[in-house]
Amino acid sequence: MTEFQQKVLRRVQAIPRGRVVSYGQIAESIARPRSARQVGWIMRSLELKADYPWWRVLNTKGVITIKGNLINDAKIQKAMLESEGIKVSSDFTIEIEKYRHHFSPDQFPDEEPEMA
DNA sequence: CGATTGACTTCTC
DNA sequence: CGAGAAGCCAATC
């Protein structure tokens, strides 16, 4: 478990119920604005049974781009989002601008600010 | 240690 | 607006 992973996972846990964020937003909030792919990489290495609301994370277009072994994983994510009141289209797309959540710097007191 | 791989994002055509 | 290519960067091989 690297520090990068811990920071990402903390953001995932900080996503309120019924809200979503993009991979890029998480990357941006941990001072790695160009590391959206790595955020997704971490999610991939996560066991879907883990205690993280990974289903509240999707790309900036609001589309569930999960790969997994089958599209079945995307269907699980769709079901999870709908269970929180988020409408998901049949093509795994949501109105992300309507549900997007924004992180606050003071949400993570354990971490040091980037500036020296 | 160099090459490859992506749950991404953004710019071009 | 849709499809394609490039850029990005940590983790794996």
For the CA of A75 and the C1' of C7, the distance in angstroms is 30
Residue nearest to nucleotide C9 (CA to C1'): A35
Question: Which tens digits make up the pLDDT trace of A37-58?
Answer: 999 999 988 877 778 999 999 9
User: A33 and A10 in contact (C-beta within 8 Å)?
Assistant: no
pLDDT for A28 equals: 93
Confidence of residue A116 (pLDDT cuts 50, 70, 90): very low
pTM for the whole structure? 0.90
Q: Which of these ranges, A33-37, A56-60, A83-87, A106-110, has the smallest mean pLDDT?
A: A106-110
Residue ranges in A1-116 assigned as alpha helix (H): 3-13, 23-29, 36-45, 72-83, 96-99
pLDDT for A110 equals: 58
Residues with CB under 7 A from strand C: A 2, 4-5, 32, 34-38, 41-42, 45
Taking the C1' atom of every nucleotide in all shown strands and the CA of A5, the nearest one is: C10
pLDDT for A113 equals: 55
